[in-house]
């Protein structure tokens, strides 16, 4: 006899997956945003080293959140993992290749003092920040529209889409929301962690990026309300039965993704945060309240991601071609025993990850000053 019911475990794992995604977006988000802004906030070689040193000590540890998120999707929602990685295979490979540029760039950039060599690696690092930020947003945009896949009677997956089909207008808008969101995160981080000209340029960029993120988020919300169909389960679906995505009826309707906010109005706090916090970050960073701006930007990221997850609940991956086989929280999870064992593991190890992350950030607290970077130039 399990101490937790199957429906509670399924819901908890849905919430945990969201927490892991938010943790990755907030922590690795400022790494990606910093890399993205590197060529624009640093004009001299010393300034670009100053920018890189704000993230070099911690960025590898932040990858744990991406690994945890992928592992959770694989173990808790196997059909979700299979369908998404089949549909987004080329996009995920593109993300992987560009993420590989980051450690390579950090390692090899300063091995040769030739300016063109260093400038090339600086732009490679910028690409390693921009491309994943864009692709992650494009992926969310496609989730909200539905992905062309189906299952046969034996639950064998058939995906009928292609890479360029993912690059539709709404998905690209979602990608731009993600880029602006993480540019705000990177800009507020650099404004907090640097001084001099780099901090001034980062402040200007973050103040603009926050406004853009809020504006694009509102545009995306209007598009969801009036431009694309949402999904809803018709009738009832068992919350405790065995996982089988073939046993339900799903309808598509304009504005269906917004129905949850009329039923549970308190949930509207998520889109409110997604809109208001980037604006707050823009205003705060312009007033030199850098720590408050970074916190506001982080809350904005949480609000934007939570908005997508809450709007889609209980759907994890809707099917645009066969809505009835869409994957939901209630019919695509692992077994009750598997979810319970995984929950125990998370309760044991997630606090360790949180403690280590907090400890590492505390050890590396304080600004990276340009004078200190220039003083250590003889080491390069």
For residues 329 and 8, is the Cβ–Cβ distance under 8 A?
A: no
The mean-pLDDT minimum among 65-69, 230-234, 251-255 falls in 65-69
pTM of the model as a whole: 0.93
Average pLDDT over residues 296-315: 96
Distance separating alpha carbons of residues 3 and 271, to the nearest angstrom: 34
Q: Residue 378 pLDDT more than 60? A: no
Indicate the pLDDT class of residue 377, thresholds 50, 70 and 90.
low
Task: Kindly report the backbone phi and psi dihedral angles of residue 377, in degrees, each rounded to the nearest multiple of 5, phi listed first.
Answer: -60, -25
Average pLDDT over residues 111-131: 92
For residues 166 and 137, is the Cβ–Cβ distance under 8 A?
A: no
Nearest to 206 by CA among 231, 228, 186: 186
Count the neighbouring beta carbons within 10 Å of the beta carbon of residue 324: 16
pLDDT of residue 4: 86
Q: Are strands 249-254 and 229-234 parallel, antiparallel or unpaired?
A: antiparallel
Per-domain residue ranges of the chain: 6-239+248-366
pLDDT digits (tens, 9 = 90+) for 185-226: 999 999 999 999 999 999 999 999 999 999 999 999 999 999
The mean-pLDDT minimum among 78-87, 221-230, 277-286, 312-321 falls in 78-87
Distance separating alpha carbons of residues 251 and 318, to the nearest angstrom: 11
Report residue 98 as tokens. 């560009």
**Residues in CB range of 228: below 8 A, 6 or more apart:** 144, 145, 170, 254
Percent of the chain with pLDDT over 90: 65
**Residues in CB range of 154: below 8 A, 6 or more apart:** none
Q: Residue 374 pLDDT more than 80? A: no
Report residue 18 as tokens. 């969201």
- Residue 46 zone, left/alpha/beta (φ > 0; ψ -120 to 50; rest): alpha
Q: Residue 328 pLDDT more than 90? A: yes
pLDDT of residue 1: 63
Average pLDDT over residues 36-53: 93
Q: Residue 380 pLDDT more than 50? A: no
> What average pLDDT does the structure give for the chain?
91
Distance separating alpha carbons of residues 286 and 205, to the nearest angstrom: 10
**Residues in CB range of 14: below 8 A, 6 or more apart:** 309, 313, 314, 316, 329
* Helical residues (DSSP H) of the chain, grouped into ranges: 6-41, 45-53, 59-76, 78-87, 89-108, 115-145, 169-193, 196-226, 259-263, 269-286, 290-312, 336-363, 370-375
Q: What is the crossing angle of helices 6-41 and 45-53, to 10°?
A: 160
Report residue 73 as tokens. 């999707």
């Amino acid at each position: 006899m399990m101490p937790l019911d199957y429906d509670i475990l399924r819901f908890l794992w849905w919430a945990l997956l969201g927490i892991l995604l938010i943790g990755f977006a907030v922590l690795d988000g400022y790494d990606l945003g910093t890399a993205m802004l590197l060529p624009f906030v640093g004009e001299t070689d010393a300034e670009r080293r100053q920018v890189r040193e704000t993230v070099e000590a911690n960025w590898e540890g932040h990858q744990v959140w991406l690994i945890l998120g992928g592992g959770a999707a694989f173990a808790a929602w196997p059909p979700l993992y299979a369908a998404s990685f089949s549909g987004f295979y080329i996009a995920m490979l593109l993300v992987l290749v560009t993420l590989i540029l980051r450690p390579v760039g950090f390692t090899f950039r300063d091995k040769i003092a030739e300016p063109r060599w260093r400038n090339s690696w600086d732009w490679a690092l910028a690409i390693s920040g921009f491309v994943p930020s864009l692709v992650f947003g494009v992926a969310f945009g496609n989730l909200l529209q539905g992905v062309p896949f189906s299952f046969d009677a034996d639950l064998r997956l058939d995906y009928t889409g292609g890479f360029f089909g993912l690059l539709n207008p709404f998905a690209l808008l979602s990608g731009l929301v993600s880029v602006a969101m993480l540019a705000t995160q990177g800009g507020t981080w650099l404004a907090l962690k640097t001084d001099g000209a780099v901090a001034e340029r980062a402040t200007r960029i973050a103040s603009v990026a926050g406004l853009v993120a809020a504006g694009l988020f509102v545009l995306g919300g209007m598009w969801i309300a009036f431009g694309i169909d949402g999904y809803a389960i018709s009738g009832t679906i068992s919350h405790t039965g065995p996982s089988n995505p073939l046993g339900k009826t799903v309808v598509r309707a304009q504005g269906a993704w917004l129905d949850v906010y009329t039923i549970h109005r308190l949930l509207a706090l998520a889109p409110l945060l997604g809109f208001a916090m980037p604006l707050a970050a823009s205003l705060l960073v312009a007033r030199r309240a850098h720590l408050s701006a970074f916190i506001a930007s982080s809350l904005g990221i949480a609000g934007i991601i939570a908005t997508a997850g809450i709007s889609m609940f209980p759907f994890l991956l809707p099917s645009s071609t066969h809505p009835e086989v869409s994957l939901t929280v209630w019919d695509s999870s692992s077994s009750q025993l598997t979810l319970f064992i995984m929950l125990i593991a998370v309760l044991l190890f997630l606090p360790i990850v949180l403690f280590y992350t907090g400890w590492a950030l505390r050890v590396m607290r304080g600004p990276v000053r340009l004078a200190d970077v220039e003083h250590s130039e003889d080491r390069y």
